[in-house]
Structure 1
């Protein structure tokens, strides 16, 4: 619960600095930058924290890690959520629905949608499927390795998972 409170506070106070922008622009390919900047600023801020945490975890680990791949994946892991699809209050709504009314949330989830529940239904859909949505966007610009990792980052751990995937999951969980 405290983790969600901390996430909400960070989302409400998110501030992307020029230094953050320079870090992102240096760390991900030019073709991926529009995907990063299409995210809500709170998601950009979150991705920056995940990236820094992932690199710190890699430094403390005995794993052989492709740090560049890890950094790209950490910065791009939420590109399936774009500004307008799932803002801060939409995320609060979807997290609460998933926690307290998961069956109803699954029924309401729909891409686009029509009628009274179109916006909340779309937000829930994006919440559940943003990893796959983001992976498709990354494949479309040729980042197939990153797409494969990101598509699996919300799935349960499995034997043989790449060290970058393990570190991404842990860094995302901590942020």
Structure 2
């Protein structure tokens, strides 16, 4: 990924809330390189590539960060090769429920602020479909809240049943019963 601007060094990035600021800065400045695209194409089955491409570019960069961190975590835990391959696919596809136009960068900023600051208001504003312009914000809230199940349905339709089962749960609270792939995916996503 090509980055523009300052790096993560310095005290600013260790302040409370800095993770969200860093996410926003990444979303506004990063983009996929040719090397990144080759990496994604090597890891994903052909049927999954259209789902990956449909994501907003900021989400594509985000999931690539998650995949790389998850790979490091899996290596430290000596996860078997088959589980590491599943983890890589899940990391790259975990946000396919959010597509370009449904929840772009500013829509996600809005959704995070409302759902964390005024959750009752956010729940009342949610709407599954946006038929008129003023419903767009409600639709962004709906997608933000339900993108794991939306993405899982898309993956099942593409024949990626195992990935769908993991991705449907990736925003659930951590559990001692989580399989290693889900546990690592949750941890890597939380840090990115």
TM-score bin, normalised by smaller chain: over 0.9
1:15 is matched with 31
- The alpha-carbon deviation at position 159 of structure 1 amounts to 3.0
User: Hey, what does 2:124 align to over in structure 1?
Assistant: 107
* Unaligned runs of at least 5 residues, structure 2: 1-16
3-state SS of paired residue (1:95): helix
Alignment of 1:1-175 (within 5 A): 1-64=17-80, 66-115=83-132, 117-175=134-192
Where relative contact order (Cα < 8 A, 6+ residues apart) is larger, the structure is: 1
| Runs of 4+ deviating beyond 3 Å | 62-65, 113-117
Partner of 2:9: none
Number of equivalenced pairs: 175
SS of structure 2 residue aligned to 1:117: helix
1:64 CA displacement? 4.8
C-alpha deviation, 1:99, in angstroms = 1.6
How large is the RMSD of aligned CA atoms in angstroms?
1.2
Q: Contact 1:108–1:117 (CA<8 Å) still a contact in 2?
A: no
| Shift in Å, 1:62 | 4.9
Greater shift after overlay, 155-164 or 46-55?
A: 155-164
Q: From the superposition, tell whether residues 23 and 62 of structure 1 become closer, same or farther in structure 2 (CA, over 3 Å).
A: closer
* Post-superposition offset of 1:113: 3.3
- Aligned equivalents of 1:119 and 1:129: distance in 2? 15
Residues 141-150 or 65-74, more deviating: 65-74
> What's the CA shift for 1:61?
1.9
Structure 1: gaps (5+ residues): none
Deviation at 1:158, TM superposition (A): 2.2
**If you compute each CA radius of gyration, which structure gives the higher value, 1 or 2?**
2
SS state of the match for residue 161, structure 1?
coil
